[in-house]
Amino acid sequence: MPSKFSSLITKLVKESTNEHGIIDKSLVNNVLVGLKEINSPMHQEILKEFLTEITKTLRFQLVEVEFGSETSKSVMTKLKDKISATISRPLDFKFTTNKSLIAGYRIKLVDDVFEDSVQSRLSKLSQSFTS
């Protein structure tokens, strides 16, 4: 059920995003300072809803990409372009190296994980022996 502040929250979230539609930490800070200055009696409720919405938006924007080894910038850009072309919403990419993958990649998008790594193949093999 939409809350009584829903249109205000939408506007505040919009104020917190940069030109690429990504949540920007400094812009969020600006909104928080503004909210504090107004000092409305509804301050706490608005703040709670705003932070919940920001967290939700951040979760939907974040794409965590893990590689098993150091990867070149060109591969990262190609991957970024390919994912952005598939998903029609602003995305914030975070690239890291996870040596436990041994080789391959792991992409986490909200609560979906796409994975092809040596670690996952070994785990599958171990499961096929034990099941």
Partner 1 sequence: MSSITDLIRKEIENLSTDATRTNVGSIITLADGVAKVDGLSKVMFNEMIEFPNNVLGIALNLEEDSVGCVLLGDVSSLKEGDEARTTGKLLSVPVGKELLGRVVDAVGRPMDGKGAINASQSLPVERIAPGIIPRKSVDQPLQTGIMAVDSMVPIGRGQRELIIGDRSTGKTTIAIDTIINQAKINKQGEASGDANFRPVFCVYVAIGQKNANVARTIKTLEESGAMEYVTIVSAPAADNPANQYLAPYAGCAMGEWYMENGMDALIVYDDLSKHAVAYRQISLILKRPSGREAYPGDVFYLHSRLLERSARLKEDCGNGSLTALPIIETQMGDVAGYIPTNVISITDGQIFLEGDLFNKGIRPAVSVGLSVSRVGSAAQIKAYKKVAGKVKLELAQFRELAAFSQFESDLDATTKASLDKGARIVELFKQTAANPISVEVQTSLMWAMQNNFFDSIAVGDVNRGAQSLRKYLETQGKEACDLIYSTGKLEENTEQKLRSAVEDWKRTFS
Binding region for partner 1 (CB under 8 A): 108, 110-116, 120-121, 124-125, 128-129
CA distance 85 to 105: 19
- The pair of structure tokens assigned to 61 is 């924007």
DSSP assignments along 23-72, one per residue: B-HHHHHHHHHHHHHH--TTHHHHHHHHHHHHHHHHHHHEEEEEESS---
Least distance between partner 1 and beta carbon 129 (Å): 6
**Which of 42/110 has CB closer to partner 1?**
110
**Which of 31/91 has CB closer to partner 1?**
91
Least distance between partner 1 and beta carbon 24 (Å): 24
Least distance between partner 1 and beta carbon 82 (Å): 13
